[in-house]
Amino acid sequence: MKIYQTDEIRNIALIGAAKSGKTTLAENMLFEGKVINRKGTVDDKNTVSDYRQIETERQISVNTSLLYTLHEGKKINILDAPGFSDYTGDILAAVSVADTAIFTVNGQNGVEATTENAWRQAEKAGTPVVFFINQLDHHNANFDEVVKALKDYFGDKVTLTQYPVRTGEGFDSIIDLMLMKMLKFKQGGGAPEVLDIPAAELDRAEKLHRTLVENAAEGDESLMEKYFETDSLDLNEVRQGIQKGMVSRGVFPVFCGASKHGVGVNRLMDFIVFTCPAPSCLPARKTTSGKEFHCKTTEPAGLFIFKLANEQHLGEVSMIKVYGGEIFEGQDLINPRTGNKERISQLLIVNGKNREKIERVVAGDIAVTIKLKDARANDSLLDPKAADAGFEPIVYPEPIFTTAVKAVSTTDDEKLGSILQDMHKVDPTFHAGLSRELRQLIIQCQGEYHLNTVKWYLDHVFKIDAEFYSPKIPYRETITKAAKADYRHKKQSGGSGQFGEVHLMVQPYFEGYKDPTDFPVRGKEEHQLNWGGKLIFNNCIVGGSIDARFMPAILKGIMERLEEGPLTGSYARDIVVYVYDGKMHPVDSNEISFKLAGRHAFSTAFKNAGPKIMEPIYDVAVRMPEDMMGSVMTDLQGRRAVIMGMDSDNKYQIIRAKVPLAEMDRYSTSLSAITSGRGTFTIKFAEYAQVPGDVQTKLLKEYEEKLKEED
């Protein structure tokens, strides 16, 4: 394949809600570029983009596909991203490396939840945006209402470059405001017939053309001066102004079409190659040390791995964008994260599952490499002379959906854990790990759709039966008052026996607490507990009733009980212990005896010291359309939420609340149902707080029943 230079490359991401026609648009773009000679369809399960089994079964995109097409001597790299917000990691990766994001908008449904989510991602990444209002051949399509909604949600810089003569069945003609011509398309695509604008449309077209030219001129001072002088700009000047406006995110052009029939696709591709920015026109990509790469071949070699994927017959592949120099086979680069060398063994240009070797890739291009030793998404590979720091990473969202999982067969436990770790490597928004505290394998992801994808792979690819269930809650146990207890451990079974007796007192730990005056503190140890809080262990033994060599064993017994609290088996914290008396035997006393005596004495004292269960409380910020605020508020209050405040964000409201983690199980699913997918939320640990009395009683009863079952 020809090696395309930086100014001959355009990188676009197709972004939009499910069923907005992204994959169909991509298929038509490949057909227009003569990269394929026959168009597939989603219904026939034969598109270039959705080639994986899970995608053909579900008829939706699940992973970002890398494609390319050709037009007017230029190469257009296409990243076809999934359409559900649960796959936000793929959407974010795509908009982070694309030079333009093409937002496909369903002409019937208008702005959808995924559109809004993707807009926020593109805004963070600073990516130029073009809107393509699709499916205008449907009888329910309403172009004007969709444009109104786009302006309502995304501002007045949403700028018409086209509008349909009419929508519905038979839709084939578009008024193009840049060319000031009517374009009539044949069913099936191809270059349109260029006609004069009908007299009935001329006034509207001229008015909208003036708005377009004004917005284009605002992107460049010299263009603005010319526009004031001549009251017009030629086509090249309009293109120049729109491109600069797109780069500064001051103009968001709107195109229209029906990708199913190829209407509008050829003209959109014209716009991509003649107006959308080349990679070198975008702001520089910075490394974490501040070094800038401008997508030029004269710069040191540098690439960014924005996505990993597992492909049949290839194994793990790395999708890369080159930000400097040239990358070629056999080249040695440095991964700043590890400091290790990576050799580029193969470079591939891909169209879905179709792959073609290429000898080198220049700055600005997107390609695939394989067989890297230790590569992850977000890694950079750089020329050794410029490898002081990697490119600024993509900041992925925190998980919002948590579940526990276990293999049905215990023989699959290790295999399951390994598979889940590999899934995390490929998808950084998916997390899995064994919780020592909960004694569960925990999965965290972006929602129920995301989890269902994991389930599909376990069932169909890895053939592992797994059970999914609600995770335990990491409660904490502590005390509210002082209490004393003693315990004698005595065991005799031939030969030397076991004997140890411990008398101790416990009291709550808090800043500024006072030691009792009943007995002197002869030695104090302060332990910061791994799970939060403190244990203060005091040796108050006088007269040698317990030898000092047994004190570590007593502490060990108490520590073991802290790890499995007396009330519910949860971690205990914030306790002061005073060991003030006891007895030992000259022959039978040993460390195990005092460990057990200390453990039991502590447990008894704990239960007599006004014990309480503490639950994790999280700061939750819920963002939803203002007309859905009442329903969201009612749902939160049903989850024992304490509302802390409310903010407004344009047409949205944000509720800030403190909510017990125990009440947040599957909240993402509930919020999606309440808000038709438009609500989003963030969740962050805040503090531990005492559970209500009825909840504590319920937890104690459940733990007692569990112990009986285990016995």
621: domain CATH number is: 3.30.70.240
Residue with tokens 């702001």: 283
Instruction: Give the mean pLDDT of 553-575.
Output: 95
In which domain, by residue range, is 619 found? 613-694
Residue 592 lies in a domain: yes
Same domain, 273 and 132: yes
Backbone angles phi, psi at 498, to 5 degrees: -130, 135
Question: Do 38 and 87 reside in the same domain of the chain?
Answer: yes
Closest CA to 575 of 541, 549, 608, 619: 608
In the chain, how many domains are there? 5
pLDDT(710) > 80: no
**Can you tell me the mean pLDDT for 507-520?**
93
Tell me the C-alpha distance between 315 and 219, whole Å: 46
Handedness of CA 457, 462, 466, 472 (dihedral sign): negative
pLDDT at 310: 87
Using the predicted structure, report yes or no on whether residue 315 has a pLDDT greater than 90.
Answer: no
What DSSP line would sit under 5-26, residue for residue? -GGGEEEEEEEE-TTSSHHHHH
Q: How far apart are CA 187 and CA 302, in angstroms?
A: 44
Contacts with 252 (C-beta within 8 Å, 6 or more apart), sequence order:
129, 130, 131, 150, 154, 155, 157, 158, 159, 246
Number of residues that make up the chain: 711
In a domain, 228, yes or no: no
What does the pLDDT read at residue 495?
66
591 & 688 share domain: no
- Predicted confidence at residue 494, as pLDDT, reads 64
Question: Position of tokens 């230079």?
Answer: 5
Q: Are 488 and 544 in contact (CB under 8 A)?
A: no
Q: How far apart are CA 480 and CA 633, in angstroms?
A: 34
Which residue's structure tokens are 């004069």? 196
With a pLDDT cut of 70, the percent of the chain lying above it is 99
CATH of the domain at 308: 2.40.30.10
Please give the full DSSP string across 60-104, using - where no structure is assigned. Answer: S--S-EEEEEEETTEEEEEEE--SSGGGHHHHHHHHHH-SEEEEE
Q: Is residue 632 part of a domain?
A: yes
1-45: per-residue pLDDT in tens? 799 999 999 999 999 998 899 999 999 999 999 999 999 999 899
Are 143 and 136 within 8 A, CB to CB?
Answer: yes
CA 295/CA 99 separation, integer angstroms? 11
Residue 699, domain member (yes or no): no
Residues 316 and 454 in one domain: no
Q: What is the pLDDT of residues 454-478, one digit of tens each?
A: 999 999 999 999 999 999 999 999 9
350 and 442 inside one domain = no
| Contact of 653 with 629, CB cutoff 8 Å | yes
Asked whether residue 395 is assigned to any structural domain, the reply reads no
CA-wise closest residue to 335 among 276, 387, 282: 387
Q: Are residues 431 and 462 in the same domain?
A: yes
pLDDT of residue 30: 97
Under 8 Å between Cβ of 81 and 382: no
Same domain, 581 and 596: yes
Q: Which of 579, 610, 641 is the last residue of a domain?
A: 610
CATH number, domain at 538?
3.30.230.10
Among 610, 638, 670, the domain boundary falls at 610
The encoded tokens of residue 573 equal 């914290």
DSSP 233: -
Task: Answer yes or no: is 559 within a domain.
Answer: yes
* Mean local confidence (pLDDT), 92-109: 96
Task: Determine the 3-state secondary structure of 142 from DSSP.
Answer: coil
Domain C-terminal end among 263, 281, 299: 281
Please, what is the end-to-end C-alpha distance for the chain in angstroms? Answer: 70
Q: What is the pLDDT of residue 187?
A: 87
Same domain, 23 and 97: yes
Phi, psi dihedrals of residue 145, rounded to the nearest 5° = -65, -35
List % helix, strand, coil for the chain (3-state, nearest 5).
30, 30, 35
| pLDDT score for 359 | 93
619-659 pLDDT, tens digit each: 999 999 999 999 999 999 999 999 999 999 878 999 999 99
Q: Is residue 14 part of a domain?
A: yes
| Average pLDDT estimate for 203-207 | 97
Give the mean model confidence (pLDDT) for residues 563-591.
94
Q: Measuring CA to CA, which residue among 446, 265, 96 is closest to residue 81?
A: 96
Where residue 256 sits, what CATH number does that domain have? 3.40.50.300
Is residue 33 within 8 Å of 71, Cβ to Cβ? yes
Q: In b/e form, how buried is each residue of 265-291, taking b as 16+ CB within 10 angstroms?
A: bbbbbbbbbbbbbbbbbbeebebeeeb
- Stretch 439-447: mean pLDDT, rounded? 95
Q: Is 80 exceeded by the pLDDT of residue 184? A: yes
pLDDT digits (tens, 9 = 90+) for 318-327: 999 999 999 9
Residue 415 sits in a domain whose CATH number is 3.30.70.870
Answer yes or no: is pLDDT of 342 > 70.
Answer: yes
User: CA 365, CA 308: separation in Å to the nearest integer?
Assistant: 17
Classify the C-alpha dihedral 427-429-435-441 as positive or negative: negative
Tokens of 23: 């994959």
Residue 103 pLDDT class (50, 70, 90 cuts)? very high
Spatial distance between the Cα atoms of 479 and 502, rounded to a whole number of angstroms? 20
Buried b (16+ CB within 10 A) or exposed e, 679-707: bbbebeeeebeebeeebbeebeeebeeee
pLDDT digits (tens, 9 = 90+) for 588-610: 899 999 999 999 999 999 999 99
DSSP 287: B
pLDDT of 76 above 90: yes
668 and 643, same structural domain?
Answer: yes
Structural domain contains residue 564: yes
CB 700 within 8 A of CB 108: no
In this structure, the answer to whether residues 422 and 567 fall within a common structural domain is no
On whether both 518 and 617 belong to a single domain, the answer is no
Cβ burial, residue 298 (10 Å; 0-12/13-18/19+): exposed
- Contact status, residue 254 vs residue 264, Cβ threshold 8 Å: no
Question: What is the distance between the alpha carbons of residues 593 and 579, in angstroms, rounded to a whole number?
Answer: 15
Which one-letter DSSP state was computed for residue 313? T
The chain-wide mean pLDDT, for the chain, equals 94
Give CA–CA dist 302/299, Å, rounded. Answer: 8
Range 680-708 average pLDDT: 92
As a whole number, mean pLDDT of residues 685-691 equals 95
Kindly state whether residues 511 and 643 are assigned to the same domain: no
Q: Is the pLDDT of residue 259 over 80?
A: yes
448 confidence band (pLDDT: 50, 70, 90): very high
